[in-house]
Structure 1
């Protein structure tokens, strides 16, 4: 391998990131791990005493140790780590690795989601029922990059944003540092880290005060018009007010300000009042103090004047007012947020605030806004339900974060370290990490290092030695992407990208004895008795299992290394689709509407 070139007709192939450009030196690096290594001296020794061992010796001992810990303390006593598929070669293998972890029975996977995309992909769904979608930069009038720097981290996005700006789209960058995307913005907001929610609340206040929000969308497609019992904080139901009222039907205000039943399964619910506070008599005679959800949003946003927002965010009032004024023009608005929002303790609340602001603009799933993709029908390898419910309930931190990452089997570094060092809520005895550099990529390096040193057993799989691998009992060498076959189902960025399926053949011979992460996961799975779950060790059979709903297999894709596109029926405003029974698709939330109040 001597160089890498762009693949211009590929939906994400028009730009090369730094890792892509560096492929030749990564493959040929003399620092690569090339053989399995076993520690022969205690942790903390100046020299770990690494010795080379065979793959069979390493995998057999690892499987035996993991199996023994599972038998003695339960599968939850073994934690796992997986690096991000967003910016590493784990994209080729993470579904296989998660399949292995769930088949093993552990709910404890240290993932990158808490410092990466939790807010945009999952917290966003608490408001919209789905993740952030893909920003339609090609048709946007305005673009907001909120804690996101694609000029440094996602060049395929950055080039499309530059094209949009050249044709007249306004670009706002919210970031403490100007480097990269901020240098190319029409408005750069140098925000105080972690104060993003205040900026969003101030914009919500401005749109409401000036009446410049999309009232039709908010009325018809958010839960803003539904009445909330102030005493309980819960939505009123029709059966509380009327003898023939249904328990699953909500209550809203009609145009005259009177409460009426509202079945959110149907679309014909507009034309009422968004604002209202009233006392209403329940069937049992008690008086209920109620307000619309929108009224509660008005009350919550009221303190966030430009002066107060400036105080909290450290932004000039003029910049805040410019931001608010841009939103008030009701542009076709596309936005993306990433780690600048995600790496805060209040990331979920920040994202819900940004999502509520976005709902007021009415731009979601419309041209020029953020659109939700329609992926081709395929099968996932990493279905969370492979893990039994009783094991899911043991995820570290789930009691404190019942809507957070532990609900999906992804635990935080904080909770892992607590379980290792303090035995709370139970003792974690071992860690197997595929990639990652847990010591330095997650907060509190000193505590993370102490947790690794306190483990009974540690395995690390990677292309290079790093501070996390240095404390392991076994270090296994992983191949680079160019040394293995790989299947990628769908790419981000556009609907065309989502429809693209690519089988990438191996390009160069593997160095030394390196193996793909998916091969390592499958080999361990077989030694731990997961033959059926892992297709008897046949990786290609697993890929064909994923592809079966498309009616193609790996052999069909080998002749198209550039990828094949499988077009899907795509439309905007998918929430407005009316089914045969007259109900609307709506949103995947408890109220079947965008939840500006929960």
Structure 2
């Protein structure tokens, strides 16, 4: 690629963990990214990007950008480092890995990575070496494990409905998703439908930006989504408003669920949902009156102890309404599941001699402090675990261990990077090649770097290839080029059109998945009936009920905790952050916490006051925002703002390492806390 003084406009793709996976145009002047804009040629994102990504060049050229390899010279957490060369860094890390494997075994190495870069090449770059070393294996649960399992238990690998279907609907339900914050490119389809007379209903525990713009807002209790969905279905059964012929043709075992609904008292549905019977009935009647309904399900509603069940219950309601029938304007979207390939072609499990132990990434605090045999080397890339992992006080304790060697491959000086023993500079998506697929739409694209790497930054792929070779490994995967690995993976992909020729060396347009389903019933397209009752073996494996049903909450229903920690806390996304990414652009900001006026009065908290949130796990400082947008007894702390000098903790100090009802995902939206304005002591 030639870099000259001419202005160039180059295509790229947003790499962040967002369903939109936007097409981007980078304006490059003299080899430097001057601005980012949406790609008008992208069929879904259609020429605009969120305000977060418009600021991304600030991250690329940030004064906090890590530009070269460094070793720690101060105390852990101080963020004091000394520059070294790449050959020295690779040799140091190579010797450290060899020594640990020889002395403690490969399982003493714990990798930690997730979706800081969603490119299929760089996201999976480290696995081959980890398998070769026999490292502990990370169970990647931190985002969508419970939601995905809740869907697949009843519908297998069936993809979600194309978002474009929503433009022709009469009723859109945004269920547990703040579209204007975390799925902004779905909003134009909502706007198009409303222009034709459709209604937007938002279901969420608090009145977020999307709810404020809705035609109707339904305030459900946190984790009460199952009760609302099943309560609505109970009403539809009792009032004989279901299409029995459709149920017989497209579903199985509805009678089992029907029997449960008839036998369960209404009081259980109202108490768990936080809504009275008439409100649930009104919602059910609204659904019955609008056959052309589209439900957009958010992943966030699954991050509690009943999270998988929430998705299961909503899907059961949707199936009973016939929303998988393929009629105009009907649909349900959780994840598009547009493309899938053989990840063994990216991760190379055959390089492992034996299966090593599994570590749930939601249990990082435990892994770094109490796991036996202990972790001796912690390797982080594409993630900022001190900010994003639950129970971060335990994570910090682990990072402070004198006998733990921590390697962080990162772009900017994150809270985690400050605890590194070896700090390595990583490229941004603008500085490396990769293939990106969206999970909120049905398109993919392969793009090259648009600028040379800043400083001495290396991509995840290049880092692990270089490290493997430094260690003397000559296995075929470690000899591959980026282009060869992408070619190998794409050859296995489902959803790629017939006749598609993949060329990793040049942009070949936005590729539409063949798994996109419009105007066709799931039963006809996939030969799959919606199973209201899952197989006994799968239910037993998950330790879950065979049918969608009501479950008691874990922490929210714990009477001992209720008496000592009277307030519920959820931690949804913030408009200016994507998980913890962009925290560097808001350094020093502690974030707000929404509190209901009645709670504010009870605890004598004024709007704008500094407040301390505490529980048995930790404490965190926030600014109170007194608002009726939340409900009484519920605190809402948007965003994973970084730790500050004034407040060396952040919101995940308060969240639990307990996991969801299925798939062992994290329970970020189920914490009990107390709130006060007492003096803040971090001593």
Contact kept? 2:133, 2:352, Cα under 8 Å: no
TM-score, scaled to structure 1: 0.73
Contact kept? 1:79, 1:110, Cα under 8 Å: no
Say if 1:548 and 1:178 are closer, same or farther in 2 by CA, change over 3 A: same
Indicate the residue corresponding to 1:145 in structure 2.
Answer: 174
The correspondence for 2:257, drawn from 283, 294, 297, is: 294
- The offset of 1:437, in angstroms, is 2.0
The correspondence for 2:435, drawn from 480, 483, 487, is: 487
Say if 1:142 and 1:444 are closer, same or farther in 2 by CA, change over 3 A: same
Indicate the residue corresponding to 1:519 in structure 2.
Answer: 462
The correspondence for 1:51, drawn from 51, 76, 82, is: 82
Contact kept? 2:469, 2:478, Cα under 8 Å: no
Contact kept? 1:41, 1:49, Cα under 8 Å: yes
Indicate the residue corresponding to 2:192 in structure 1.
Answer: 163
Say if 1:358 and 1:130 are closer, same or farther in 2 by CA, change over 3 A: farther
- The offset of 1:529, in angstroms, is 5.4
- The offset of 1:344, in angstroms, is 1.0
CA distance in 1, matches of 2:474, 2:187: 44
Residue 358 of structure 2 aligns to a residue whose secondary structure is coil
The correspondence for 1:359, drawn from 308, 314, 319, is: 319
- The offset of 1:196, in angstroms, is 1.8
The correspondence for 2:155, drawn from 103, 128, 132, is: 128
The equivalences for 1:184-203 within 5 A come to 184-203=213-232
Please say if 1:541 is aligned against 2:484: yes
CA distance in 1, matches of 2:306, 2:348: 26
Please say if 1:370 is aligned against 2:332: yes
Alignment RMSD (CA, Å): 3.4
Contact kept? 1:478, 1:517, Cα under 8 Å: yes
The equivalences for 1:415-434 within 5 A come to 416-424=364-372, 426-434=373-381
Q: Deviations for 1:176-202, whole angstroms, at most 9, x for unmatched residues?
A: 222321122222112222222221221
Residue 253 of structure 2 aligns to a residue whose secondary structure is helix
Contact kept? 2:297, 2:332, Cα under 8 Å: no
Please say if 1:95 is aligned against 2:124: yes
Q: Which runs of 5+ in 1 are unaligned?
A: 226-273, 275-292, 397-410, 579-583
The equivalences for 1:31-430 within 5 A come to 31-43=64-76, 47=78, 49-84=80-115, 88=117, 93-109=122-138, 111=140, 113-114=141-142, 116-130=143-157, 133-134=160-161, 135=163, 136-224=165-253, 274=255, 293-299=256-262, 302-303=264-265, 305=266, 308-315=268-275, 318-329=278-289, 331-364=291-324, 366-367=326-327, 368-370=330-332, 375=338, 379-380=342-343, 381-382=345-346, 386=350, 391=355, 394-396=357-359, 411-414=360-363, 416-424=364-372, 426-430=373-377
- The offset of 1:143, in angstroms, is 2.0
- The offset of 1:557, in angstroms, is 5.8
Indicate the residue corresponding to 2:59 in structure 1.
Answer: 26
Indicate the residue corresponding to 2:510 in structure 1.
Answer: 563
CA distance in 2, matches of 1:341, 1:132: 19
Indicate the residue corresponding to 1:268 in structure 2.
Answer: none
- The offset of 1:447, in angstroms, is 1.3
Q: Deviations for 1:534-574, whole angstroms, at most 9, x for unmatched residues?
A: 250411111121233666666476153x4345757857334
TM-score, scaled to structure 2: 0.65
Determine which structure has the larger helix proportion and give its number: 1
Indicate the residue corresponding to 2:580 in structure 1.
Answer: none
Contact kept? 2:324, 2:522, Cα under 8 Å: no
CA distance in 2, matches of 1:467, 1:587: 45
Contact kept? 1:196, 1:350, Cα under 8 Å: yes
Q: Which moves more between the two structures, 126-135 or 365-374?
A: 365-374
CA distance in 2, matches of 1:441, 1:556: 33
Indicate the residue corresponding to 1:464 in structure 2.
Answer: 412
CA distance in 2, matches of 1:365, 1:429: 53
Say if 1:50 and 1:203 are closer, same or farther in 2 by CA, change over 3 A: same
